[in-house]
Structures are given as C-alpha cells and as structure tokens.
Structure 1
C-alpha cells in the first residue's frame, strides 16, 4: 500500500517513498514486537510504533544504507523512552543489582528450561517481570535474533554492557522459571 504523506518529507518523491516502503516496512512486525515488550500494553505499543514510523519517515533522509532493521528498532526504542519520559510514571528505571544477579550460569540455559518445563504463559509472565533494560536485550536477542553488535547499536550501549545485561536477564529468567511451586511446574521432566 503506498504511503500517503503529501505534507511529509517523502510526499513529493515517489522514489523515496518506494525506497522507504521496501527497506523499512518489512520490519514493522519486529518494531511492534519490541514496542510491545517495552510498553507491556498493546495500545501503548501501537502508539510507540506509530510515532516511531512517523519519525522514521520524517528522518529517512538520514538513513544512508546499512541495516534498516537495526535503524528502525533503534528509533522504536528511543521513541518508547522519549514517550515514557513525558509520562508521570517512572517505574521503568528499576535498579539493576549486580550482587543479586551474578553472571555465573552453572545450570541449563533458559531456552532449555523453557523447552523442558515451562509453558508459554509462564515465560511471558517471567519476561514481564524483568526490568526494562534486561527485558529489551533479551527480546532483541532471543525473539528478534539480533546480534550483540546490533543490540549495542539499537540501545546505544557498549557490547560488554549488552552481554552483561543479557547474562543478567537470562539468570533472572532462569530463577523466575525454576523457583515456582511444584504444582505449577506440571511439565517437569525428571
């Protein structure tokens, strides 16, 4: 479907409009997925994606090649945090405690635990309980299959920070998924 933006930056240039549609629109689902996990609300996620797509369209001239998915996901992330900063609620900034969440992983990975013992609902609940900085890296890595380098570009963090947050997110998921009462763990394999 052609983009109708007569007053926008691409409104008078069909070639730019077609380029935007071919490079950016294929990643609309990925944009919504990230926004959904950051906002944790369908309506808010839709608002974030709508605003992010408007910004992407407005600043499309600043995109000079590279990975359009990473470029768009960075805009989605930044849009989410910009819109959240304007909102009075500030529960997004949950503290990350390095001592409470060590980086050592001596057991099976969260992916293995998920396959063996957890239903999808429990995994979604565990993801929702993660602080936003941890949730965004685990969503980008495991659900959107971004590389560490791509996540670093999207979040504007160093790769070491990305790796550290990813390790903490996996540890938190592991704890959340394995420390449930036995009657809830109906799929245990032992």
Structure 2
C-alpha cells in the first residue's frame, strides 16, 4: 500500500479536479477517482518509472470518458454554485462589491469552460488549473506534443469566444 500512497495519493486532488471538469458532475467525479485509484493500485506494478501524476491522470481521463459514454443521452448535473475561489477572494481587504465581481467572473469563466468540448476542456484544465507541462499533458491525453500546443491554442480561442458571448448577454 505504501507504493500507491507515495506515487499516486499526492495526485488525488488533481485527479478529482480533472474528473469533475470532464464529467461535469461532482458525484461522478468521486466515483471516477475512486475507480481510477483502484485501477492504479491494482496495476501499480506496471508503473515502472516516470511521471506518476501523468500515469494516474491518464487513468482518470479514461475513466471519465468511460463514464461519459455510459451516461450519454442521460441528463447530467452541471456545476453548481460552489465556484472555487482563490484564497485572496475571502480576504478582509476586499469590499463586498469586489467579492461579488470576483464571484460573478469566476462563475462566467466556469460556465464558458463547461461549454467547451471535453477534448479542449481537458487541455485547459491540465495546463491552466493543474499547471502541467506540455509533455505531461501529451502523456495524459495520448497525443503528440505539437497537438497539445495547437489544441491548447484553439481551446483558449474557444474559451475567449464563449466568454465574449456570456458577457454580451449580461
């Protein structure tokens, strides 16, 4: 059990984050991470050396897509109002007006990100939220490094368009 704890337990938060963004469902994300952790534990002998986070997140990504396929056509719950805020958002230095603006902007970014197709959403989540290097994203998503960069550029452009649409509707 110590091998699993050393290699993969430190990445459970990243795993949940990726699963939640891909499935759009809190409960499903917990299930996906649990199943992924079980698989990582069961097949940890296959992981010889290298990037444990990328290996584990690859399992999480695959499990997330398996969940999406299994629930295709069913109604799934989108993200709720529990928008993640940065630690500075609750600072006593911020006025209620600034906090409201921050919360509203975070909700709009979250809504725009959720509107992206999963293939584009995942590269944004891995790069911008998990701060993974391009080469590690390529391992997780199983695409060439150049494709990661071009997909990330397209995802950012798509995100910008979604945000513009949302801001225009306000």
Counterpart Cα distance in 2 of 1:172 and 1:178? 10
Partner residue, 2:147: 161
Counterpart Cα distance in 1 of 2:67 and 2:163? 31
TM-score scaled by structure 1?
Answer: 0.70
Within-5 A mapping of 1:111-130 = 119-130=105-116
Structure with greater helix percent: 2
How far 1:90 moved relative to its partner? 8.9
- The count of residues paired between Structure 1 and Structure 2 equals 143
SS in 1 for 2:66: helix
The gaps in structure 1 that reach 5 residues or longer are: 1-16, 92-115, 185-190
The gaps in structure 2 that reach 5 residues or longer are: 76-101
Taking only aligned residues, the RMSD between alpha carbons, in angstroms, comes to 2.1
Counterpart Cα distance in 2 of 1:168 and 1:125? 18
Q: Find 1:172's aligned residue among 125, 145, 158.
A: 158
**Greater C-alpha Rg:** 1
**2:135–2:145 CA contact under 8 A, matched in 1:** yes
TM-score scaled by structure 2?
Answer: 0.77
Within-5 A mapping of 1:73-152 = 73-89=57-73, 119-152=105-138
